Chains A and B, each alone.
Chain A
Amino acid sequence: MKGFWKYFRKKLIWYFITFLIALFLNFLLPRLIPGNPVDLLLAEMLSGVTDTARATEIRQSTYNYFGLDKPLIQQFFIYVNNVFHGNLGRSFNQYPRLVSDILTQSLPWTIAIQLPSLIIGWIVGNILGAVAAYRKGIFDRTIFPLSLFFSSIPVFVLALLMKYYLGVYAHWFPMQGAYDAELMPSATFTFYWSLFRHWQLPFLATCLVMIGGQAIGMRSMSLYELNADYVLYAKLLGIPENKITKYVFKNAVLPQITGLALSLGTMISGALITEIVFSYPGIGTQLVNAIHNVDYTLISGCTLFISITALIANFTIEIIYGLIDPRIRAIQLEEE
C-alpha cells in the first residue's frame, strides 16, 4: 500500500480539475449560441405585450431570474453552486418539469438495457474470444470474422436492421417503445411481459456489438499471452496444460476488465442511438427530443450527466488499479 494515498490524492485533484473543465464547457457552450435561449423565451413571452415600459420590466426581471444580468464569471459560480445542489434548472420544452427529474426518470430505462447487455456481452464475448484463441482451427475461422463484423458494424445499423427484419418483417418482437401503448404501468403479469418483450430487441442489439468487440479483444490478448516466452518455458518445464491455461487466461483478461469498466462508464452515451432507433424512453430519446426542440437546459443537463458518469467510472477504475497493482502507482508517481 506504499504511496497509495499520495496516488489517490493526485488522482482526486486531477479528476476534480477535469470535472471543472467539463462543467465550464457545459456552462459556456450553450451561452455562445447566437441569440441566447433566454432571448428566445422572452420573445415568446413578450409577443402579446405592447407596453414598452412593461416589456422592459419583464425583460429585466427575466434576466434577473436567470442571472444573466451578472458578469459571466459570477454566473459560472452560480451555475456551479446550482449543479452541486443538484439543480439543473427547468426544461424549456417540458416546462415546468425539472431537468433533474426528467433525467432520474429516464435513467432506469437506459440502465435496464445497458447494464445486462454489457455484462452478458462481456462474458460471452470473452469466452468466445478465448475459445477462438485456444482451440484455433474452425473455431477461430468462424468466431473471428463474425466478431469482427459485429464489432465493426455501426450499432445504429445493427439496431435498424434488427428492428426491420425481426420486428417489422418477421413480427417476432415489438418494434418500439418500452411497453404496449394501450397498457398502463401496473404490477400485473401482462405489463411485465410487455416490458420484457419490448426490452429484448434493444438488449440484443447492444449485446451483439459488445460480444463482437470483446471477442476480438480477448482473442488478440490471449494470442499475445500464448505466444509469450513464459508459456513456452512452462511447457518445457512440463507444467500441465490446464495450469498454463489458467495463467494465460488471468493475464489476458485483465485489460478486458478495464474495457468492461470503461464501457459501463460510458454506457449512457453508448446507448443514445439504440434508444433513438427503438424509441426507448431512456436518456438518449430525451436528448434527441431536446435537440429537436432546442431545449437548452435539458441538452446541457444530459451532457453534464453523461460527463459526470464517465468521470466517476474512470476515476473508480484508476483507483482500483492503483489499489491492486503497485506498478501503476509507482509509474504514475515517478512520472510527475
Chain B
Amino acid sequence: MNLKIMFRSGRFVTGLILVLIVIGYAIFYPMINPTNPKQDRIPNPLYVETEKLRAYLNAEEYDKANQEIERLSKIEDESLQKVLAEVKSALESGHIKKALSGAKQIKKTHPLYKEFETLRITLGFDSSIPADEEAARAELEKLTAHHQSVLAVAEFLKSGDLSSIEAYTKEDQTLAQEIQPILESDPSTWAESAETLVKNHMETYKWIQEIQKRLDTFSNEEPLKALAGIQKTLLVPKNSPPSKTFPLGTDSFSRNIIVEMAYGARLSLEIGFSAGVVATLIGLILGLYAGFKGGLPDNIITMLTNTFIVIPSMVIMILVSVALGQVRSWWVTSLIISLTAWPWTARAVRAQTTSLRNRDHVNMARITGYGTFHIILTEIMPYLASYIVMAFILQVASGIMTEATIAILGIGDPTAISLGRMINWALQYESVRSGRWWEFVPVALCITSVTFGLYLMNSGMDEVFNPKIRS
C-alpha cells in the first residue's frame, strides 16, 4: 500500500488535520499549561479523589493567603505554628477543605484568643475560648457589662444599699462570688473594700479595652480576612462563564474546562484507539482464519460472528457493565467496546479472504510449500491492507462514540473524565437548560471534530482505493 497517494485526497488530509488538532490539544495542552499550581492543583485529574477535583484556586487569593501565612509564621507560638504548617501543606496539595478547617483553627490558636482566656480566668470566669471573632466580641461585651456592674456595686457598697446590690448579684454570678467575702465582713470595712475592688477592676478594664482594640485591627487586616474567607473567594466559582483565567469557563465542579477537556479528549482517544486496535485484531484474525481454512472452523466462526451481529451490541454493553458493577476502569470500558465491535470486521475480512483463497497466486504459494501463516501474510494481507486500515479508522470513530454513549447512559467508570462523561455531567447538572453553553458546546465540537475527521479520512481513502466509486 502506497501511503503517499492517500495524501492526494483532500478529504483525507482535512480529516487527518482535524484529528491531529484534537490529539495535539489532548497531549500538548496540559504541557503548555502545566497544571499551574495557582490555578488548578490537579496533577492528573483522572485518578484523584473528589475533594481534590474541586480544588481549582483563584491565583490572587492564593497569593494573599500565602502572604498571611508568612506574616503569621513570625508569631512565636507553638500550637499556632503547627496549625499554620498544616494549612500551608493543605493549600499546596490542593486540599481546600483541609485548608479551610485549618484557617478556622488559626483564629482559635491565635495568641489574642489565648490572652482572652487568661483575662477570663483573672476575672473569675471559666476558661472557655471563643469559637470565632463574633463570639469573642459578644464575650467582650459581657465582660464590659460585668465591669460596669462591679463599678455600680462598689458605689452601693459605700452607701450600704444591700437591696440594690442584690439586684446586680442575681444577674451576675461571678460578681456575687467576688463580693461574697466583702458582704460577710464587718460593714465598717465595706467602703475600703469597695475602693480596692474598683482599683483592681480598672486595671482589668484596661486589659479588656486593649483586647477590644486588637480585635478591631485583627479583623481589619486584609490578608487574615483572605485566609478566613477561603471558602468564598479562594475556590473558583462553579459554572463560571469563560474569562481570562478560565478560557472555557468552569463546570459544575469548579473545574477549569479547557484543562478538563484536554484530559477528557485524551481518555476518549485512548479508549477509541485501544478498542479500535483490539476489535480490528480480533476481527482480522477470526476473519482470516475462517476465510482461509473454510470447513468447520469457518462454520463455527461465522455462526459466532452472526450471533454477535444480531444481538445488539448496546444490550451486551449494558448487561456486562451492570454485571461488573464497581469494577470499573478505562480499559474495562475499552475491552467491552472492542468485544462487541469486532463482528463486522470479521465478516468483511472473511468474505474477502474466501474470494482470494482459490486465486492462482495463492494456489501457487500453496504448491510451493509455504505454510498457512506465510501465505496469509504475503499473498492475502496485501489485498486486504487498505480495507483493514479503513475498517480500523471507522472502529476508532465508533469506539469513541460508543464510549460517550456508555457514559451518557450512566454506566462505565464514573470517576474517569472523558468527553462523554463531560456531556453526561452537562445533562445531569442542567447545563443545557440553564444555557451554560461553555459546559457542553466545546466538548461537542471536540468530539465531533474527531469523529468527522476520522470519517473524512475513511471516505478519502475509499476514494483513493476504490476507483469504482469515484464520481
**Which residues of A are interface residues toward B (Cβ below 8 A)?**
14-15, 17-18, 21-22, 25-26, 29-30, 32-34, 133, 136, 140, 148-149, 151-154, 156-157, 160-161, 163-164, 168-169, 175-176, 216, 220, 223-224, 227-228, 266, 269, 272-273, 276-277, 287-288, 291-292, 296, 299-300, 303, 306-307, 310-311, 314, 335-336
Inter-chain contact B452/A149, CB cutoff 8 Å:
yes
Complex interface: chain B residues within 8 A of A30 (CB): 319, 322-323
Inter-chain contact B435/A148, CB cutoff 8 Å:
no
Inter-chain contact B468/A224, CB cutoff 8 Å:
yes
Whole-angstrom CA separation of A223 from B463 in the bound complex: 11
Find A156's partner among B323, B405, B454 (CB 8 Å cutoff).
B405
Inter-chain contact B311/A22, CB cutoff 8 Å:
yes
Whole-angstrom CA separation of A6 from B456 in the bound complex: 44
Nearest-Cβ distance from residue A214 to partner chain B, whole angstroms? 15
Complex interface: chain A residues within 8 A of B368 (CB): none
**Is B447 positioned at the interface, with any CB of A under 8 Å from its CB?**
yes
Inter-chain contact B314/A227, CB cutoff 8 Å:
no
Whole-angstrom CA separation of A152 from B306 in the bound complex: 25
Complex interface: chain B residues within 8 A of A22 (CB): 311, 315
**Is B316 positioned at the interface, with any CB of A under 8 Å from its CB?**
yes
**Is B471 positioned at the interface, with any CB of A under 8 Å from its CB?**
yes
**Is B234 positioned at the interface, with any CB of A under 8 Å from its CB?**
no
Inter-chain contact B448/A157, CB cutoff 8 Å:
yes
**Is B397 positioned at the interface, with any CB of A under 8 Å from its CB?**
yes
Residue of B with least CB distance to A140: B471
**Is B162 positioned at the interface, with any CB of A under 8 Å from its CB?**
no
Q: Is the interface of A mostly helix, strand, loop or mixed?
A: helix
**Is B404 positioned at the interface, with any CB of A under 8 Å from its CB?**
yes
Whole-angstrom CA separation of A184 from B173 in the bound complex: 68
Whole-angstrom CA separation of A307 from B455 in the bound complex: 28
Whole-angstrom CA separation of A21 from B307 in the bound complex: 8
How many pairs, one residue from A and one from B, have CB atoms within 8 Å of each other in the complex? 147
Complex interface: chain B residues within 8 A of A310 (CB): 310-312
Known contacts A153-B448, A157-B444, A175-B433; is-contact A306 B404 (Cβ 8 Å): no
Inter-chain contact A164/B315, CB cutoff 8 Å:
no
Inter-chain contact A336/B299, CB cutoff 8 Å:
yes
Residue of B with least CB distance to A132: B471
Complex interface: chain B residues within 8 A of A15 (CB): 310
Inter-chain contact B322/A269, CB cutoff 8 Å:
no
**Is B401 positioned at the interface, with any CB of A under 8 Å from its CB?**
yes
Q: A152-B452, A154-B401, A154-B405 are in contact. List 13 more A-B contacts (CB 8 A).
A: A15-B310, A30-B319, A33-B322, A153-B448, A153-B452, A154-B404, A156-B405, A163-B432, A168-B432, A223-B469, A299-B319, A307-B312, A311-B311
Whole-angstrom CA separation of A216 from B405 in the bound complex: 23
Residues 23-78 (chain B) with a chain A CB within 8 angstroms: none
Whole-angstrom CA separation of A276 from B451 in the bound complex: 21
**Is B318 positioned at the interface, with any CB of A under 8 Å from its CB?**
yes
Complex interface: chain B residues within 8 A of A300 (CB): 319
Inter-chain contact B432/A288, CB cutoff 8 Å:
no
The stretch that binds A, out of B93-101, B219-227, B406-414, is B406-414
**Is B320 positioned at the interface, with any CB of A under 8 Å from its CB?**
yes
**Which residues of B are interface residues toward A (Cβ below 8 A)?**
299, 303, 306-307, 310-312, 314-316, 318-320, 322-323, 325-326, 397, 401, 404-405, 408-411, 423, 426-427, 432-433, 435, 437, 440-441, 444, 447-448, 451-452, 454-456, 459, 462, 468-471
Whole-angstrom CA separation of A106 from B471 in the bound complex: 45
Known contacts A157-B444, A223-B471; is-contact A168 B311 (Cβ 8 Å): no
Inter-chain contact B408/A273, CB cutoff 8 Å:
yes
Whole-angstrom CA separation of A287 from B410 in the bound complex: 10
Inter-chain contact B314/A32, CB cutoff 8 Å:
no
Shortest Cβ-Cβ A-B pairs, 3 listed:
A152-B455, A29-B319, A29-B323
Find A276's partner among B409, B435, B447, B468 (CB 8 Å cutoff).
B409
Known contacts A18-B310, A153-B448, A273-B405; is-contact A224 B469 (Cβ 8 Å): yes
Inter-chain contact B441/A161, CB cutoff 8 Å:
yes
Complex interface: chain A residues within 8 A of B435 (CB): 164, 168-169
Inter-chain contact A161/B311, CB cutoff 8 Å:
no
Whole-angstrom CA separation of A133 from B469 in the bound complex: 10
Whole-angstrom CA separation of A335 from B354 in the bound complex: 12
Nearest-Cβ distance from residue A248 to partner chain B, whole angstroms? 13
Inter-chain contact A29/B310, CB cutoff 8 Å:
no
* Central interface residue in B315, B322, B451, by most chain A CB within 10 Å: B315
- A-B contacts, 13 of them at CB < 8 A, read A18-B306, A18-B307, A18-B311, A29-B320, A148-B456, A152-B452, A152-B454, A156-B408, A175-B433, A216-B459, A306-B314, A311-B311, A336-B299
Complex interface: chain A residues within 8 A of B448 (CB): 152-154, 157
Known contacts A154-B401, A276-B409, A288-B410; is-contact A269 B323 (Cβ 8 Å): no
Complex interface: chain A residues within 8 A of B326 (CB): 34
Inter-chain contact A156/B441, CB cutoff 8 Å:
no
Known contacts A29-B320, A303-B315; is-contact A136 B471 (Cβ 8 Å): yes
Inter-chain contact B433/A303, CB cutoff 8 Å:
no
Inter-chain contact B404/A156, CB cutoff 8 Å:
yes
Inter-chain contact A220/B444, CB cutoff 8 Å:
no
* Central interface residue in B306, B307, B312, B448, by most chain A CB within 10 Å: B312
Inter-chain contact B432/A160, CB cutoff 8 Å:
yes
Complex interface: chain B residues within 8 A of A18 (CB): 306-307, 310-311
Nearest-Cβ distance from residue B414 to partner chain A, whole angstroms? 11
Inter-chain contact A276/B427, CB cutoff 8 Å:
yes
Residue of B with least CB distance to A284: B409
Whole-angstrom CA separation of A266 from B146 in the bound complex: 82
Inter-chain contact A160/B311, CB cutoff 8 Å:
no
Find A291's partner among B307, B401, B410, B468 (CB 8 Å cutoff).
B410
Whole-angstrom CA separation of A273 from B444 in the bound complex: 14
Whole-angstrom CA separation of A18 from B343 in the bound complex: 15
Complex interface: chain B residues within 8 A of A276 (CB): 408-409, 427
Known contacts A291-B409, A307-B312; is-contact A164 B471 (Cβ 8 Å): no
Complex interface: chain A residues within 8 A of B315 (CB): 22, 25-26, 269, 303, 306-307
Residue of A with least CB distance to B394: A152
Known contacts A153-B452, A163-B432, A168-B435; is-contact A21 B311 (Cβ 8 Å): yes
Nearest-Cβ distance from residue B355 to partner chain A, whole angstroms? 13
Whole-angstrom CA separation of A306 from B320 in the bound complex: 15
Residue of A with least CB distance to B444: A157
Nearest-Cβ distance from residue A160 to partner chain B, whole angstroms? 6
Nearest-Cβ distance from residue B470 to partner chain A, whole angstroms? 7
Whole-angstrom CA separation of A224 from B444 in the bound complex: 34
